[in-house]
Amino acid sequence: MTCCIKKHPLDPVGACGASPSEVEQVLRAVRADVELDVDGDDFANNKDLPEWKQRCIKAYYSCQQYGWTGKCDDCLRYCEGQHEWPIRQCRPRK
């Protein structure tokens, strides 16, 4: 399950049949293994993805990591469909 979730981070529930709690456990373990820095090369493995998708992933990471307002998962789904992050629904707290 862990490999599948890592392979399909944008839709692990649909692609892997993972429960939300399984996804959270795997992501928590990944975060513990790697110190992430949004401005660094932490997203280098995404370089072959379309630019809009890279922006969605980075925004989702920031939303989750920094406790933005809104539901990060819903905003990621929106971003995947519309190719832009819904900044009105998910944004940094003031």
Q: What is the pLDDT of residue 36?
A: 45
Token pair 């971003």 is at which residue?
Answer: 79
Q: Please, are residues 63 and 70 in contact by the beta-carbon 8 Å criterion? A: yes
Please report whether residue 27 resides in a domain: yes
φ, ψ of residue 91 in degrees (nearest 5)? -150, 165
| Residue 12, domain extent | 1-34
**Same-domain pairing of 53 and 90:** yes
Please report whether residue 43 resides in a domain: no
Q: What is the pLDDT of residue 32?
A: 57
Tokens of 25: 């456990």
pLDDT in tens, 27-60: 777 665 544 444 456 677 788 889 999 999 999 9
pTM beyond 0.85, yes or no: no
**Same-domain pairing of 13 and 53:** no
Q: Please, are residues 83 and 76 in contact by the beta-carbon 8 Å criterion? A: no
| Number of independent structural domains in the chain | 2
Q: Please, are residues 4 and 15 in contact by the beta-carbon 8 Å criterion? A: yes
